[in-house]
Amino acid sequence: MSETSRMREIVILGSTGSIGVQALEIVAANPDRFRVVGLSAGSKNLPMLFDQAKRFKVPFVATTATAEEAKKYSQGYDGEVITGANASTELAAHQCDVVLNGITGSIGLSPTLSALSAGNRVALANKESLVAGGELVMKFGRDRIIPVDSEHSALYQCFLGGKADEVAKVILTASGGPFRDRTDLSSVTVAEALAHPTWAMGPVVTINSATLMNKGLEIIEAHYLFDIPYSRVDAVIHPQSVVHSMVEFIDGSTLAQASPPNMKGPISYAIADGDRVAGATRSIDWTAAHQWSFAPINEQRFPAVALARHCGEIGGGATTIYNAANEIAVAAFINQTIPFTAIVKIVESSVNALAQSTLSIRDLSDVSAIEQDARLHAERFVAEMRS
C-alpha cells in the first residue's frame, strides 16, 4: 500500500453538524482510506449521533448529554460512551492520526488544546479555537494543525509553492454573503440572512458570512495559523467562491487554489493530512465559459472586517471578546430580538468597553473569564435594545 493511500484513524468532534456529516460522507466513500475511531456531539441530536456510531462501528462516542440521556438512545451500540461537559475534550486526547474539530463556537477550544497536547494532529474547522485562544493554541505548535476552513486550506496549499520568507501577503477571498450588493441592511430578516448564495453551512457561520464577521474571524485565524502580521492579511470579495484564497510572493507572483465551492475538498485534504482524495469534489468545468470577479470589500457597509483587524492589533484577549460578543449577538438576531445591523454594533461596543483592560491569555480559565465579561456586556446591550 502506498503512503498516500494508507488508512488513517480519525476522531470527529461535532459529528452531527455540517462539517461532521460531510466528513462521514467522505469516510463512507473511501473506506480504504479512513476509519472513524471516535465521534462526539452535543446533546441535541443523540439519535443521529448513535446512528452514526453504529453505522461506522465507532468504538468511542462522546456527548455533552448526561449518562441517563445518552442511555435512552444508545441501545444496540456496544462501544464506550463518554458523557458530560468535558466529553469532547476527553475524546480529543484519544491517540489517532487526525482529530477533526468540527464544533461550532469557542467551546471547541478546549478539545483543540486537548488533542494537540496529546500529540494528535488536528484538522481544524473550529476557527474560534484560534480567535478565542490563538496564543494558547500556538503554544502547542501550529505545525500539527491542518486548516479545514476553505480559505485557510487554500492558503496552506499555496504556501507549499514557496518559502515562508518569500511570502509578501495572503489574500482571503469572501463571497460577500447574501447582502453583497444591498445598500440598506437595516431591514434584513433572519430568513434572508440564512440564505447564503454559494455555501451550505450551519446557521451561525451563515449569519457570520452575511455580516462579514466570518471574514473578520478568518483574518485572525490566518494571522495565527501562518504566523503572519495583520498588515499582510488582505481580504477581497469574490462572489463565485471558486478561488478559495491566494498567496502573493515577493517576486510579484500570486498562487491561488481553486475548485467549485464544496467543503468536501478542504475536509478531505485535512483528514488525509495533506494527501489528495480522488474525486473529493468535482473539478472546474473548463469547457463552459465562466468568469471570476474580484472587488474590494466595502468596509463602511461591513465594519466587521476592520474591527477584526483592530482587535488583532490590540492582541491579548481582544479577539476573544470579538468572538464571544458576536456569539451572543447572533443568537439574539436569530431569536429576532435585535436587528441585523445591531450585531456588529454589539461586538464593537463590547470590544471598546473591554479590550484595553484584557491582558495576554495564559490558560483556558483566562479565556473563560474574558468571554464571560464579553457575553455579559453583549447581553446587557441586547437587553437595552429590547426595552
The footprint of Mg ion (CB under 5 A) covers 149-151
Closer to Mg ion by Cβ: residue 5 or 198: 198
Closer to Mg ion by Cβ: residue 135 or 151: 151
Phi-psi region of 234 (alpha: psi -120 to 50; beta: other; left: phi over 0): beta
One-letter amino acid at 117 equals: S
Q: Are strands 233-237 and 243-249 parallel, antiparallel or unpaired?
A: unpaired
Strand blocks (E) in the chain: 8-13, 34-41, 60-63, 80-83, 98-101, 121-124, 145-147, 167-174, 233-237, 243-249, 254-258, 295-296
Closer to Mg ion by Cβ: residue 83 or 150: 150
Q: What is the DSSP string of 145-176?
A: EEE-SHHHHHHHHHHTTS-GGGEEEEEEEE--
The number of CA neighbours under 13 Å toward the Cβ of 364 is 11
CB of 238 to Mg ion, least distance (A): 12
One-letter amino acid at 291 equals: Q
Residue nearest to Mg ion (CB): 149
Closer to Mg ion by Cβ: residue 196 or 377: 196
Closer to Mg ion by Cβ: residue 81 or 235: 235
CB of 192 to Mg ion, least distance (A): 20
The grid coordinates listed for 127 are 476557527
Closer to Mg ion by Cβ: residue 202 or 339: 202
CB of 245 to Mg ion, least distance (A): 9
CB of 91 to Mg ion, least distance (A): 25
Please identify which residue in the block is written with the cell numbers 453505522.
Answer: 55
Closer to Mg ion by Cβ: residue 64 or 150: 150
CB of 79 to Mg ion, least distance (A): 33
Closer to Mg ion by Cβ: residue 156 or 381: 156
Nearest to 357, CA basis, from 343, 369, 346: 369
CB of 355 to Mg ion, least distance (A): 24
Report the alpha-carbon angle 233-235-241, nearest 5.
130
Task: Tell me whether residue 13 is exposed, middle or buried, using C-beta atoms within 10 angstroms of its C-beta: 0 to 12, 13 to 18, 19 or more.
Answer: buried
CB of 244 to Mg ion, least distance (A): 8
Q: Measuring CA to CA, how many Å separate 238 from each of 52, 206, 241, 284?
A: 36, 16, 6, 16
CB of 104 to Mg ion, least distance (A): 13
